[in-house]
Amino acid sequence: MKSLALLTLFSCAAIAQQPRTVSKISSKDATALVDTNDATDLKEWGSKAGTLCVDWFPKIAALLPSEGFTAPKEVALHFDPAMKGVAHAANGKITISAAFVRSHPNDWGMVVHELTHVVQSYPAGGPGWLVEGIADYIRIVHFEPQAPRPKLTRLASYKDAYKTTAMFLEWIEKHHAAGLVVKLNAALRKGEYRDALWQQLTGKTVDELWEQFLETIPSKP
C-alpha cells in the first residue's frame, strides 16, 4: 500500500511539473505571452488580447512618455478560472478573470486599461485614484472614444477613479491645460507627485477644477 501511495504521489507531482503551453505573439516593438492553460476555451480570445497588447504597447508608451524612461515591451497574460473581480496588473503580468471574459467577451478596453498599468510602471505611493484615472483616460479617450460614457452626478468625486477621473482629466486637457496627463504621469513615475502640482500646472487647485467641472454636469430636473 505504501508503494502504491508513493507511486501515486510521484505521478501527481510529475503531472504538476509538466510545462505550460504559452503562446508568444510579437512584433518588432512588443511581445505578449499568453497563458490559457487554465481556461482552454479562451484560447482564441487570449490570442486576440495578446495581439491587441502588441499593437497598443508602443501607442501607450508614446502617449505616456517621460524623460529617461524606457517603457517595457513584454507582457504576460494569464487567465485565472478562480479569480474574482475583473483583472489586475503587476510586474509585467496581467491576470484576467476567466469568468469575466466569458460574460464580457467584447470588453477589450479592459485589456488596454491593464496594459496601461504595465506601461505606467509607477513606484508605490502615488494616489490610486489618479493612477486608475490615467489608465482609463488612455482607454476612453484614445482606445474607445466612441464608447458610451457614464452619466455622472454632482455627488461624484474626482477621487472616484476610473472613468470619472478620466473624464475629469479629459475636460482639463481640453479647457485648461493641454498635456496635463503627460506631466502628471512623469511626476508619478518619478515618485514626485504632490497635490500642489495641479496649481503649478493649471493655475488652479484640483478641488477648484473639480468644482468647475461639476458645473458642466446637468443637475437633475
For 119-138, write each residue's pLDDT tens digit.
Answer: 999 999 999 999 999 999 99
Regarding whether 130 and 112 lie in a shared domain, the answer is no
Regarding whether 213 and 147 lie in a shared domain, the answer is yes
Q: Could you give the number of structural domains in the chain?
A: 2
Residue type, 127: P
- The answer as to whether 3 is a domain residue is no
Domain enclosing residue 220, as ranges: 123-221
Tens of pLDDT, residue by residue over 41-81, are 999 999 999 999 999 999 999 999 999 999 999 999 999 99
pTM for the structure as a whole:
0.90
Regarding whether 59 and 134 lie in a shared domain, the answer is no
Regarding whether 97 and 35 lie in a shared domain, the answer is yes
Question: Which carries the bigger pLDDT value, residue 139 or residue 7?
Answer: 139
CATH number, residue 91: 3.30.2010.30
